[in-house]
Amino acid sequence: MFKGGPGLHTWRARFFCGRGRKEPVCRWGVRTTVRDGFQRQITYLRVSLTERCNLNCFYCRPGEGKASERDGLSLDGLVRVIRAGARVGIRKIRLTGGEPLVRPDVTDLVAALAGIPQIDDIALTTNGCLLSARAAALKAAGLKRVNISLDTLHPDRFRSITRNGEWSRAWAGVEAALVQGLHPVKLNMVVMRGINDDEVLDFVRLAADRPLHVRFIEIMPIGASSSWASDLLVPADQIRQVIADRYGPLRPVKPAGGGGPARCWTIPGFKGSVGFIAPLSGYFCPSCNRLRLTAAGTLRPCLCQGDEIDLAGALARGAGEEELMQLVIQAVARKPQGHPKHEVLPVRDRLMSQIGG
């Protein structure tokens, strides 16, 4: 039993049991889910596998070419934590970073997670540059789908934003994801005023004849961009209006896979869709269903607040599955209601690559 933490019996009121749904089995032999203090069902864990990245995007990392070299938890530690989380309600895992594909054991990790019965969705966020060589193996291991971060369709602009990247390698990753059927394949574009906002319609056209789901994301004041993100912000409503002016009224649709914060729309005749993630101009804290495992091995209940629970230390001292379960439950209990509406305070305690982009 975790010293100082609530015993599992204390949390019976937080478990909601039901039949006919794929839910983890708790120690009392009934199927359970777990909710936080605001009745949000917490089913999603984002896992930063490493702070390392083969790119060095200016809004993500400080300094020219300056990048951390720290990986996250070991393969065994990750599996132990996620298995414990699955017993108290975690069903969806997103592997992220940094760039998760710089870790050589990522395919082994996907295979191990696919063997956890309660986990029914394994996704990956990547910049795509290393994906073409590994997409087939990841699919075979049990990866369901991918999000590919791509902020421009111009090779020279790509090199400028990433400081060192080759656009052709990123696009090869997009094509490999489509070939391997890692659907839905989502493209995440961080829209920045004066840098790439002139490409919005170019990205929309990608969804016309390909089953791509393009999501336009407002830049957030986190880490390297914490002091100047507001200068580059393009609100989601403005982006949507640019698209509507060209294509007419958009038709709302259910997001393609994942149930995340995107608000999605379709254009008649398009194979794919467009979506908008608006952490600043919008407000989706009331529906947040996630925890984050940082590359430092800490469990972070909220992206925008620095409260964290040390799982790396617990693993180092030999914590068993029961104690790890207690720590996950504690993180759920400490999950705040959210940031103030229409205001995201700058996050300076960690980079986005450390928290999990």
Strands 263-266 and 251-253: antiparallel
The answer to whether residue 155 scores a pLDDT higher than 50 is yes
pTM for this entry: 0.88
In a domain, 1, yes or no: no
In a domain, 207, yes or no: yes
- Is residue 263 classed exposed, middle or buried when 0-12, 13-18 and 19+ CB atoms within 10 A define those classes? middle
Cβ contact 270:246 at 8 Å: no
- What is the C-alpha separation between 53 and 299, in angstroms, rounded? 21
Mean pLDDT for all residues in the chain: 87
Q: Looking at residue 119, what is its pLDDT?
A: 97
- Is residue 342 classed exposed, middle or buried when 0-12, 13-18 and 19+ CB atoms within 10 A define those classes? exposed
Q: Looking at residue 21, what is its pLDDT?
A: 40
Higher pLDDT: 4 or 71? It is: 71
CATH number at residue 221: 3.20.20.70
- To the nearest 10°, the Cα dihedral for 351, 353, 356, 357? 100
Give the residue numbers spanning the domain of 289. 8-355
Helix (H) or strand (E) holding 86: helix 75-87
Higher pLDDT: 3 or 112? It is: 112
What is the DSSP code (8-state) at residue 181? T
The answer to whether residue 13 scores a pLDDT higher than 50 is no
Q: Looking at residue 338, what is its pLDDT?
A: 81
The answer to whether residue 323 scores a pLDDT higher than 60 is yes
**Own/partner pairs, 283-288, CB within 8 angstroms, 24+ separation:** 283/338, 283/341, 283/342, 285/337, 285/338, 285/339, 286/38, 286/40, 286/337, 286/338, 287/40, 287/261, 288/40, 288/261, 288/335, 288/338
Extended strands (E) in 113-268: 121-126, 145-149, 185-191, 212-218, 251-253, 263-266
Query: Which pLDDT band holds residue 11 (cuts at 50, 70, 90)?
Result: very low
In a domain, 257, yes or no: yes
The answer to whether residue 295 scores a pLDDT higher than 90 is yes
Please state which of the ranges 4-13, 48-57, 108-117 shows the lowest mean pLDDT: 4-13
Query: Which pLDDT band holds residue 29 (cuts at 50, 70, 90)?
Result: very low
Query: Which pLDDT band holds residue 251 (cuts at 50, 70, 90)?
Result: very high
Percent of the chain with pLDDT over 90: 69
- Is residue 257 classed exposed, middle or buried when 0-12, 13-18 and 19+ CB atoms within 10 A define those classes? middle
Query: Which pLDDT band holds residue 22 (cuts at 50, 70, 90)?
Result: very low
Strands 44-48 and 290-293: parallel
Q: How far apart are the first and last CA of the chain?
A: 33
The answer to whether residue 17 scores a pLDDT higher than 70 is no
Count of CB atoms situated within 10 Å of the CB of 113 = 22
Spell out a b/e string for 79-97, using b for 16 or more CB atoms within 10 Å of the CB, else e. Answer: bbbbbbbbbbbbbbbbbbb
Cβ contact 103:49 at 8 Å: yes
Percent of the chain with pLDDT over 70: 84
In a domain, 2, yes or no: no
In a domain, 30, yes or no: yes
The answer to whether residue 19 scores a pLDDT higher than 80 is no
Instruction: Read off the tokens for 135.
Output: 């997409």
Q: Looking at residue 34, what is its pLDDT?
A: 87
Mean pLDDT of 199-218: 97
The answer to whether residue 234 scores a pLDDT higher than 90 is yes
Query: Which ranges in 163-291 belong to alpha helices (H)?
Result: 167-180, 200-206, 229-232, 236-247
In a domain, 3, yes or no: no
- What is the C-alpha separation between 158 and 195, in angstroms, rounded? 11
User: Number of structural domains, the chain?
Assistant: 1
The answer to whether residue 223 scores a pLDDT higher than 80 is no
Q: Looking at residue 126, what is its pLDDT?
A: 98
- What is the C-alpha separation between 234 and 243, in angstroms, rounded? 14
Query: Which pLDDT band holds residue 154 (cuts at 50, 70, 90)?
Result: very high
